[in-house]
Structure 1
Amino acid sequence: MNVSRELVKFPEWPQFDGAERAALDRALEQGQWWRMGGGEVVAFEREFADYHGAGHALAVTNGTHALELALQVLGVGPGTEVIVPAFTFISSSQAAQRLGAVAVPVDIDPGTLCIDPGAAERAVTGKTAAIMPVHMAGHVADMDALDKLSADSGVPIVQDAAHAHGARWQGRRVGEFGSVAAFSFQNGKLMTAGEGGAVTFPDQERYEEAFLRHSCGRPASDRGYFHQTSGSNFRMNEFSAAVLRAQLARLDGQIDTRERRAPLLTGLLNDIDGVVAQSRDERCDRDPHYMMMFRLPGITEERRNRLVDELIERGLPAFAAFRAIYRCPGFWETGAPALSVDELAARCPVTEAVYTDTVWLHHRTLLGTEEQMHRIAEIVADVVGSL
């Protein structure tokens, strides 16, 4: 195949315009730059909760803190276990481990790359305090099976929705499942203020506890330093919230574009010999597509990494997949299960393959034109064919 080596010019990320500038001016001029005195964080929390169908939202410093706070209000701590997918960014496990809990990795579905509900069920013990599905690349995990597992076992769900702003499963938004969910606004995410996070809650009680714990145990109305719980300072500032309000306002339109482009690019990638794109369960009826993920089954990790380097040289914002969390040294520092790497690998055969053979493209590629989707596929085919 004779493919031009001219670099592809995709839309930039992050995206911003006068709306963010006006929001920053608004936050600046109000004269109060932290959440206890200003109005931007409170307004953003209300808008974000409404958008996701949640009763309440709490804005925090980042997505990792969002997960940690979500787990803490559900009682996760020393002597407990949290079930997490073995294939995820390591914050999913570290949030539990930082609280003194044991993170228990389980395998994933080979198509959607989300947690395997059957594997999660087999991992439940009397110590299990939470099950954490990750909505991988924006695809909602099988919430039908997971909600049933939660109801049958009595173990609550904590959704890691860092990739899933605006996602839906059978018409239900992330905040409508009756479980706590954690989001990230890190620089590469679907909406961003550089850093930031949020936790959505279905009920007032857990929201109020989370508020205390994210603000050093101090109620919003406190003037006498009566710290009612232990906690830390996870408060979001007014400038970040102002930017996120503008980002949220354009999110739906961006998802609409990615939903139009993703089926085209998925088909084109699947037409390439040796390439298998992340599949989609039809019950996930709105996928915001944080990543365009595809596998090259049988490829070695070394060759996959060379392929990623070549794609980057050709202008594609390409990345190697997350490592299996149990193959990261940080996983073993604290809160690891009493199993060896080899034992965990034997329990997670899909993860073992996926972390070595998977590539992902940043979601800004899906904001490009139809012509660019064909160009992406041409480049991938050319690079795969040359390895």
Structure 2
Amino acid sequence: MHARQGPEFPRWPQYDETERDSLIRALEQGQWWRMGGDEVNSFEREFAAQHGAEHALAVTNGTHALELALQCMGAGPGTEVIVPAFTFISSSQAAQRLGAVAVPVDVRPDTYCIDAAAVAAAITPRTRLIMPVHMAGLMADMDALAKISAEAGVPLLQDAAHAHGARWQGKRVGELGSVAAFSFQNGKLMTAGEGGAVLFPDTEMYETAFLRHSCGRPRDDRRYLHRIAGSNLRMNEFSAAVLRAQLRRLDEQIALRGKRWTLLSRLLGAIDGVVPQGGDVRADRHSHYMAMFRLPGIAEEKRNALVDRLVDAGLPAFAAFRAIYRTEAFWEIGAPGETPDAIAERCPNTDAISRDCVWLHHRVLLAGEREMHATAEIIADAVAAV
């Protein structure tokens, strides 16, 4: 198959003089790490304010954000962390690297977010945390999960790596009363190439996290009096300077992506065999990290061939995440005492979605209406050809 000229989409990451000026500002302050400069501190205040949180702590990347939050919330050997079976592998590995057992549960077939009923069924006396993932920026059912959390006495940790600026019934991620972790990796909705952040609803946990992310060392320490075990997860000043610029574009970009998804999802839904990701009216602000759709019943090999066709035609298309229990990495450490097939039996939606789902990078949704029509036409042609 010959590659053809496809629609033109905006580049990603996006940047302009704002990022350039921010980097110069960070450079010229003469202190390039957070303990001497002000860019990280300023970014944390701005990010917390925009997401309705009491505190934000900037860290090296999204995986470390999850690990730090999990550690501060008591995950470790002898504990279990409930995670969606359909997610990027960091959601489970962050818990597993701490010695906790990751317990995969199924997701909903329409939203691809964790199924609250499956969560309730998976809770045991060893369950320490429940980790919903806001898939593609669509928030999980936070009402049902909050109820389960309260009744079981098991706290929630929101994996909000896709959900910058998202809302649930008018509440921002930081206003839901639980810890939340974000990623600023290169493809995310705002980025410095790498980076992460954790939102905390209370000062005590935030202060503990600050110590752990800085080798257990207090801010004012001059005698190497490390109070608790930790690691160096500190964000540098240059990354924070870039993220402050990226944060200023977030609201406008979310609005545009939402408008474009309304059109694109309608066009995709008109293609025989294509089912766009569903929504939830209570998730009244979907940040659209990915434009996702399923082809129910398609074989995985054909789905992969379809993705290749889309890429050849100029779309930034990808196969969906593999079910975490279908990866070798999941079984290296902190895996439950089950076989992959046993987990798959109780996760039929995850098994199906990981075979039949496709996603497009969110820069597609930053293009014009003409590109939405062109995208849908390319997908229709490719579906008809496989």
Q: For 1:110-189, what aligned pairs fall within 5 Å after superposition? A: 110-189=109-188
Who is 2:298 aligned against?
299
Give SS of 1:382's match.
helix
CA distance, structure 2, for counterparts of residue 271 and residue 5 of structure 1: 24
Which residue does 1:197 correspond to in 2?
196
**Partner amino acid, structure 2, of 1:368:** A
Letter in 2 for 1:186: Q
Aligned residue in 1 for 2:255? 256
Deviation readout 1:64-110 (Å, 9 max, x if unpaired): 00000011111100000000000000000000000000000000000
Deviation at 1:8, TM superposition (A): 1.2
* Alignment partner, residue 332 of structure 1: 331
Tell me if the contact between 2:67 and 2:95 (Cα under 8 Å) persists in the aligned partners: yes
What SS is found at the alignment partner of 2:5?
coil
Count of matched residue positions in the alignment of Structure 1 and Structure 2: 384
Structure 1 residues not aligned, in runs of 5+:
none
Alignment RMSD: 0.7
Give the TM-score, by structure 2 length.
0.99
Q: In the alignment, what sits opposite 1:16?
A: 15
SS at match of 1:182: strand
The equivalent residue for 1:53 is 52
| Shift in Å, 1:6 | 2.9
Alignment partners' CA distance in 2, 1:7 and 1:295: 22
Question: Does structure 1 residue 343 correspond to structure 2 residue 315?
Answer: no
The one-letter amino acid of 1:355's match is S
- Partner secondary structure for residue 285 of structure 2: coil
TM-score, normalising length: structure 1:
0.99
Aligned equivalents of 1:342 and 1:74: distance in 2?
Answer: 31
Q: Which residue in 2 is equivalent to 1:277?
A: 276
Structure 2 Cα separation of the partners of residues 301 and 370 of structure 1? 30
Cα distance between partner residues in 1 of 2:54 and 2:346: 37
> Residue by residue, what CA displacement relative to the aligned partner does 1:289-331 show, whole Å, maximum 9, x if unpaired?
0000000001010000000001000000000000000000000
| Aligned match of 1:35 | 34
- Is 1:94 matched with 2:93? yes
Letter in 1 for 2:332: E
**In 1, Cα distance between equivalents of 2:295 and 2:69:** 35
Residues 135-178 of structure 1, C-alpha deviations (whole Å, 9 max, x = no match): 00000000000000100000000000000000001000000011
**Cα distance in 2 for residues equivalent to 1:150 and 1:344:** 23
In structure 2, the partner of 1:314 is 313
Paired with 2:80 and 2:296, the residues of 1 have a C-alpha distance of 32
Structure 1 CA distance for aligned equivalents of residues 329 and 359 of structure 2: 23
Give CA deviations for 1:266-295 in whole Å, capped at 9, x if unaligned.
Answer: 010010000000000011111110000000
Quote how far apart the aligned CAs of 1:262 are: 0.5
Distance 2:341 2:42 in 1: 48
> Residue 108 of structure 2 aligns with which residue?
109
Pairing 1:183-262 to 2, within 5 Å after superposition: 183-262=182-261
Q: 1-side partners of 2:376 and 2:17: how far apart?
A: 34
The alignment partner of 2:158 has SS state of: strand
Paired letter, 1:166 = G
- Separation in 1, partners of 2:245, 2:27: 15
Tell me which residue corresponds to 1:64: 63
Q: Which amino acid aligns with 2:359?
A: W
Identity %: 71
Contact residue 4 and residue 312 of structure 2 kept, 8 A? no
Structure 1 residue 208: Cα displacement = 0.3
Q: 2 CA distance for matches of 1:183 and 1:219?
A: 24
Letter in 2 for 1:217: G
Deviations 1:183-237, CA, capped at 9 Å, x for gaps: 0000000000000000000000000000000000001111111100000000000
Q: 1:328-376: per-residue Cα shift (whole Å, max 9, x none)? A: 0000000000000110000100001000000000000000001110110
Give 1:7 deviation, angstroms.
1.5
Q: Could you tell me how far apart the structure 2 residues matched to 1:221 and 1:278 are?
A: 49
State the one-letter code of the partner of 1:341: P
3-state DSSP of counterpart to 1:366: helix
Q: Secondary structure at the match of 2:231?
A: coil
SS where residue 104 of structure 1 aligns? strand
Give the drift of 1:5.
4.3
Mark the runs of 5 or more structure 2 residues left unpaired by the alignment. none
